[in-house]
Amino acid sequence: VTLERPWGLAFLPDSRMLVTQRSGELVIVRADGSGVDATVSGVPAVVFAGQGGLLDVALDPDFTSGENWVYLAYSEAGAGGSGTALARGRLVGNALQDVAVIWQQSPKVAGEVHYGARIAFRADKSLYLAAGERGLEANNGSARADGVQNASNTIGKVVRMNRNGSSASVFSTGHRNPQGATVVPGTNNLWITEH
């Protein structure tokens, strides 16, 4: 199978894989990796430019118990440019249903880099989303009002929220471009890697 710019994957209970392609496609890859079984419909529109596109994918911690939510982190368009967003939808067959955007980075800015966009679940089933600084810190310095240390924005932040997007709050600040995130099993200790 040939994938085009794959970025994230999540294993389904039957060992097949949901794989994001930065162009905006979510595909189901066979368990043995020999090919794509299906393209999943219902994926939100993405900004596919530079480092942006459809990025991370994660299954709800209760996916096998009937909470068949799939979470997608991606770059979305908005006033002023683009930013990281988080949506979720129920996987029914080869389609996402009841899709809703549950979190959006603010402000949206010009540029096509440093979206971050990694999802990790805590032991209490709430989630972390790591969002990049969109190139602002690297290009413009931390003195700007939209810098990563400014608590009034979500540029260069890790955000913690409930699975439906409620009670979102900044967990940590000062991040450039988090590209890996995981919670140590049995704890709420978040480990991230940054570029």
| Burial state string for 5-42 with b = 16 or more CB within 10 A and e = fewer than 16 | eebbebebeeebbbbbbbebbbbbbeeeeeebeeebeb
Q: What is the DSSP letter of 56?
A: E
The DSSP bridge pattern shows strands 127-131 and 178-183 to be unpaired
What does the pLDDT read at residue 189?
94
Q: Is the backbone peptide bond immediately before 61 cis, with ω within 30 degrees of 0?
A: no
In the chain, the percentage of residues whose pLDDT exceeds 90 is 82
Q: Please say if the pLDDT value at position 86 is more than 70.
A: yes
CA–CA gap between residue 182 and residue 189 (Å, rounded): 8
Q: What is the mean pLDDT of residues 9-17?
A: 97
Question: Predicted confidence band at 73 (pLDDT cuts at 50, 70, 90)?
Answer: very high
pLDDT of residue 149: 81
Structure tokens at 130: 């790591």
**Average pLDDT rounded to a whole number, residues 139-168:** 81
CA 134 to chain CA centroid, nearest Å: 14
Model confidence, pTM: 0.94
Determine the pLDDT at residue 66.
85
